[in-house]
Amino acid sequence: MNKVLAIANQKGGVGKTTTAVNLAASLAATKRKVLLIDLDPQGNATTAAGIKENKPNTLYNLFFENIQIMECIYKSSDDYDLLPGGQELIALEVGIRENNKQSFLSKELEALKDKYDYTIIDTPPTLNQLTIEALFAASGTLIPLQCEYYSLEGVTGLMETIQSLSDKNLSNNRVIGIVRTMVDMRNNLAKEVSDELESHFSNLVFNTLIPRNIKLAEAPSHGISGVKYMPSSYGAKAYLALAGELIRKVEYV
Ligand SMILES: Nc1ncnc2c1ncn2[C@@H]1O[C@H](COP(=O)(O)OP(=O)(O)O)[C@@H](O)[C@H]1O
Ligand SMILES: [Mg+2]
């Protein structure tokens, strides 16, 4: 089945990587076969996945050295597989543009059609060619969002980009939902923005709220997901619930 899902928002620090890693871990916990792709030159998802190799192959090697995609896939310390990212993805971004290789990632992922149930793509905090590659390859996008003023800025632009790619038949990507992250309901502003999101986007907002939880922030330094690091924490439980909600949205249609 391999549902390819992009995690995107051109704003940094909104919980994209935390969502990508913990969603991958939560889906893997339900025995689904999951691949996490780190498409961010910062490589935060790669660190969080705790792989052993110190110079793993990335999409850069796949693009420039003609190796097989399976040679870029590693076991994480959780139960999902990882296709790592890192600094060399900056050169990959330029390479894809200069060689007119748009949709390179979509083509490569065809080889994995029967291998995974879910492929989750973590994207950089910009709308550059790497993010566009993820939007092309994905059949759905999740948008993590912090409930603050201005948090919606950019999100409408991202939604329009996804819509225009699909209008031009360049992709069949659609926005699956907005995930409210780092929520602190004692904060009145957060509650206001959260309520506003629900009334404005209603069925596009996931019911599950991801709370601000220190265990989620600590886990990456141990090279493991929050879900595995402290399964009883509020953060872990929220991501497991989010995975359940996602499964109901994409598998029972
Ligand atoms: N629910 C949460 N509770 C506490 N800290 C969080 C939570 N989500 C993310 N963080 C922390 O906030 C920072 C930014 O999150 P990150 O997932 O890296 O965002 P992005 O990938 O969008 O830049 C990181 O230090 C991360 O550990
Ligand atoms: Mg990130």
Domains held by the chain: number: 1
Q: Is the pLDDT of residue 66 over 90?
A: no
Note the pLDDT tens digit of each residue in 166-214. 999 888 999 999 999 999 988 898 889 899 889 888 889 999 999 999 9
For the chain, list the strands marked E by DSSP: 3-7, 34-38, 74-75, 81-83, 118-122, 140-146, 174-181
Domain interval for residue 41 = 3-248
Distance CA 3, CA 14 (A): 23
> Is residue 91 pLDDT above 80, yes or no?
yes
Give the ligand at the shortest distance from the Cα of 46: 2
Tell me, yes or no, whether 9 lies in a domain: yes
CATH code at 21? 3.40.50.300
Mutate to test the pocket of ligand 1, among 18, 123, 141, 178 (most ligand atoms within 8 A of CB): 18
- The answer to whether residue 92 scores a pLDDT higher than 90 is yes
Q: Hey, whose CA ends up nearest to atom 3 of ligand 1?
A: 212
Is there a domain that residue 253 lies in? Answer: no
Q: Is residue 50 part of a domain?
A: yes
Quote the ligand 2 centre to 43 CA distance (angstroms). Answer: 8
Enter the DSSP assignment of 32: -
Q: Is the pTM of this model over 0.95?
A: yes
Q: Are 225 and 50 in contact (CB under 8 A)?
A: no
pLDDT at 48 over 80: yes
State yes or no: pLDDT of 253 exceeds 80: no
